[in-house]
């Protein structure tokens, strides 16, 4: 299972009137099942575009994207919605929680639409929010809200967990805790986790690091000895 995630010559352009701006140019990489992978690069490099294409939030203009031997490139909108529903868990920088739903309801929203969900209450306990299930997002701290959104992503039992700058809005220690939670989910449950960040220091914690610049992959590193996030300082 070397090619759990596969990108082959993937290109994506954004059109602004007459102008065509390339957001991804011939992107090639592979990620194995169960890996903790970090996509790193300066802002505007195309990290989020790559993540969104893999998560079925965006379509590519050419090339092949595969997850678990299923082709994602070329799916239509309806198929992409199904794909997001069953196969992908998303974690965003600004949490994207429903403000009018409790933490538990936010997780249920995701778990109730897929076939093989985990118990929402159990997942919330796993992420350390057993006591705060009935609170609304506004009553939770940033770190706690991010935990809810991780729980929401995990509850669906997705094939892959995609995190877009998950610590971008959090302070140093809270961010570390969130990354530890993600790393633990990867190690303990064998879930493939992909994290997008601009923080180069974090690359030490990943099994695989994909460096992106100007829409292309410039370097792929494999880490045989990833460091637990607790021991990384930045």
Partner 1 sequence: MNIIYFVAQQTMFFAIPLLIVALGGMFSERSGIINIALEGIMVIGAFAGIAFINVTQNSMSGQVLLLLAVLVAGISGGIFSLFHAFASIKLKADQTISGTALNMFAPAFAIFVARMVQGVQQVQFTDTFHISKVPFLGDIPVIGPILFQNSYITTYVGLLIALLSWLIINHTKFGLRLRSCGEHPQAADSVGINVYKIRYAGVFISGILGGIGGLAFVVPTSTNFNATVAGYGFLALAVLIFGQWRTKRIFFSAFFFGIMKTFASAYSGIPVLKDLPISNEIYKMIPYIATLIVLTFSSKNSQAPRAEGIPYDKGSR
* Alpha-carbon span 114 to 178, nearest angstrom: 25
Structure tokens at 12: 């994506």
CB 165 to partner 1: min, Å: 15
- Which window, 33-41, 112-120, 179-187, 216-224, contacts partner 1 (CB under 8 A)? 112-120
Which of the stretches 50-58, 68-76, 195-203, 210-218 binds partner 1 when contact is defined by CB under 8 A?
50-58
Q: With binding defined as CB under 8 A, does residue 156 bind partner 1?
A: yes
CB nearer partner 1, residue 84 or residue 132? 84
Rounded-to-integer distance, Cα 83 and Cα 77, Å? 10
Task: Determine which helix (DSSP H) or strand (DSSP E) holds 204, and give its type and residue range.
Answer: none
Give whichever of 25 and 57 is closer to partner 1, judged by the CB atom. Answer: 57
Under the criterion CB under 8 A, does residue 191 sit at the interface with partner 1? no
Q: For residue 68, which of 131, 176, 160 has the smallest C-alpha distance?
A: 160
Separation between Cα atoms, residue 228 and residue 185, nearest integer Å: 13
Q: CA-CA distance, 158 to 148, in Å (whole number)? A: 16
Q: Residue for token digits 């997008």?
A: 196
CB atoms within 10 A of CB 119: 12
Segment lying near partner 1 (by CB under 8 A), choices 97-105, 120-128, 173-181, 209-217 = 97-105
Residue 88 in the binding site for partner 1 (CB under 8 A): yes
- Could you say which of 47, 152, 191, 211 contacts partner 1 (CB under 8 A)? 152
Residues in the site for partner 1, rule: CB under 8 A? 52, 55, 57, 78, 81-86, 88, 90, 92, 96-101, 105, 108-110, 112-114, 152, 156
């Amino acid at each position: 299972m070397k090619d759990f995630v596969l990108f082959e010559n993937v290109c994506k352009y954004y059109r602004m009137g007459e102008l065509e701006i390339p957001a991804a140019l011939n992107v090639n990489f592979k990620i194995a099942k169960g890996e903790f992978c970090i996509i790193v690069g300066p802002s505007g490099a195309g990290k989020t575009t790559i993540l969104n294409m893999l998560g079925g939030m965006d379509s590519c203009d050419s090339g092949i994207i595969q997850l678990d031997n299923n082709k994602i490139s070329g799916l239509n909108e309806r198929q992409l919605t199904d794909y997001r529903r069953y196969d992908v868990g998303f974690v965003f920088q600004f949490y994207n929680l429903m403000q009018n739903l409790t933490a538990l309801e936010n997780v249920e929203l995701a778990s109730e639409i897929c076939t093989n969900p985990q118990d929402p209450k159990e997942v919330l306990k796993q992420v350390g929010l057993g006591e705060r299930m009935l609170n609304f997002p506004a009553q939770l701290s940033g770190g706690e809200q991010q935990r809810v959104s991780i729980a929401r992503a995990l509850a669906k039992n997705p094939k892959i967990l995609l995190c877009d700058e998950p610590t971008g809005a959090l302070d140093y220690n809270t961010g570390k805790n969130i990354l530890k939670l993600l790393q633990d989910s990867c190690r303990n449950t064998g879930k493939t986790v992909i994290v997008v960040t601009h923080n180069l220091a974090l690359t030490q914690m990943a099994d695989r690091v994909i460096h992106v610049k100007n829409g292309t992959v410039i370097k792929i590193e494999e880490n045989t000895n990833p460091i637990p996030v607790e021991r990384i300082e930045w």
